[in-house]
């Protein structure tokens, strides 16, 4: 038994040594996976649309950036704890409900206000719909063929899954899926820009490159995409080649930028399910009371993990009273820090802050 374990470890090490880094290994596996899926979907590359070649290159660069950003993030000590323990709890009964609330209905945004919820629903689902349509087309996993009798065949992974009338509802929804997603994104982005221009708190915190630039990039992609449809229908294709290039480059630049800016939270969002499972599971086990006010504010497991992570980074927050700063709830922790500057023991005052449970 021991010999088998040693052999497995040697195999793992030899595989890792074949690559310069974990990023390189992950990227290589992802590209090989895409190549295999495209090989199957296009029936050995017999159905390849060269007009989508630029989008394919942009998507591959996006994947490279995403893996780089994800690995750099996942290697941090606190992230390692959340991912490792969150994966072990993935099959909790509440996982489905949590996934729906965080990834589909955006319930956590609803608590901040209906305006922001509508804005996020439009942008989020508009982008998801565009991805679900674009990526399969770009990599040849899905394509259409037309029969002489006026029917379209929908081919998925090389298998004909549906035949629909060219003028039917399903066909029209397929043609206009990207137009629908573009309208959703434009409405959502306009709502977001309006809020950032009018809301005083948003205006105080926002930065052009971090907050506005991603919105303008999404807006450019969506507007140029709709412009292509407009030129095709109403201008009989006039100006379409130029607009096609503008749209393609706007998509490619946005894909390359996506892993490194604010929009990176879109592909990272599923990790919130692991975090929620981690917090809920250990909160059910045992809760820790604040050393000052006595309120239960965090699970014992999470508190121990926080202290361990701080020690890994050689950071200690031991107080003069003999307890760790992490053993205080957030309001008491804030008052304790004030006490260090003022000299007045504000952390010993039992009164809570009025806005500690404020939403927004």
Q: Which domains does the chain have, with CATH numbers?
A: 10-64+93-263 (1.20.950), 286-348 (no CATH)
Q: What is the mean predicted confidence (pLDDT) over 226-248?
A: 88
pLDDT tens-digit series, residues 78-123: 888 888 888 888 888 888 988 898 888 888 888 888 999 999 999 9
pLDDT tens-digit series, residues 299-316: 888 888 888 888 877 777
The predicted model scores a pTM of 0.78
pLDDT tens-digit series, residues 137-177: 888 888 887 777 778 888 888 788 888 887 888 878 887 88
Query: With helix as H, strand as E and coil as C, how does the chain read?
Result: CHHHHHHHHHHHHHHHHCCCCHHHHHHHHHHHHHHHHHHHHCCCCCCCCHHHHHHHHHHHHHHHHHHHHHHHHHCCHHHHHHHHHHHHCCCCCCHHHHHHHHHCCCHHHHCCCHHHHHHHHHHHHHHHHHHHHHHHHHCCCEEEEECCCCEEEEEECCEEEEEEECCCHHHHHHHCHHHHHHHHHHHHHHHHHHHHHHCHHHHHHCCHHHHHHHHHHHHHHHHHHHHHHHHHHHCCCCCHHHHHHHHHHHHHHHHHHHHHCHHHHHHHCCHHHHHHHHHHHHHHHCEEECCCCCCEEEEHHHHHHHHHHHHHCCCCCECCCCCEHHHCCHHHHHHHHHHHHHCCCHHHCCCCCCCCCCCC
């Amino acid at each position: 038994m021991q010999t088998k374990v040693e052999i497995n470890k040697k195999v793992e090490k030899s595989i890792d040594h074949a690559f310069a880094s974990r990023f390189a290994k992950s990227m290589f596996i992802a590209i090989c996976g895409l190549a295999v899926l495209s090989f199957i979907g296009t029936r050995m590359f017999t159905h390849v649309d060269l007009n989508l070649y630029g989008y394919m290159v942009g998507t591959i660069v996006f994947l490279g950036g995403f893996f780089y950003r994800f690995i750099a993030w996942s290697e941090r000590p606190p992230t390692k704890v959340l991912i490792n323990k969150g994966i072990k709890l993935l099959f909790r009964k509440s996982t489905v409900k949590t996934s729906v609330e965080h990834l589909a209905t955006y319930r956590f945004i609803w608590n901040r206000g209906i305006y922001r919820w509508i804005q996020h629903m439009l942008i989020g689902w508009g982008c998801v719909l565009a991805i679900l349509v674009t990526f399969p087309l770009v990599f040849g996993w899905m394509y259409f063929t037309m029969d002489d009798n006026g029917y379209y065949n929908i081919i998925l992974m090389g298998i004909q899954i549906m035949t629909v009338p060219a003028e039917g509802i399903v066909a029209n929804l397929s043609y206009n899926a990207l137009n629908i997603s573009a309208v959703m994104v434009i409405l959502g982005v306009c709502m977001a820009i309006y809020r950032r221009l009018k809301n005083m708190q948003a205006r105080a915190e926002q930065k052009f490159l971090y907050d506005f630039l991603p919105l303008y990039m999404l807006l450019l992609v969506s507007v140029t995409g709709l412009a292509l449809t407009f030129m095709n229908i109403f201008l009989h294709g006039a100006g379409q080649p130029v607009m096609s290039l503008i749209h393609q480059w706007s998509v490619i630049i946005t894909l390359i930028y996506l892993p490194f800016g604010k929009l990176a939270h879109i592909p990272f969002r599923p990790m919130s399910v692991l975090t929620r499972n981690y917090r809920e599971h250990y909160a059910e086990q045992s809760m820790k009371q604040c050393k000052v006010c006595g309120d239960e504010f965090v699970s014992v497991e999470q508190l121990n993990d926080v202290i361990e992570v701080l020690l890994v980074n050689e950071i200690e927050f031991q107080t003069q009273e003999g307890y760790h700063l992490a053993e205080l709830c957030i309001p008491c922790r804030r008052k304790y820090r004030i006490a260090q500057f003022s000299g007045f023991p504000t952390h010993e005052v039992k009164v809570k802050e009025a806005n500690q449970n404020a939403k927004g």
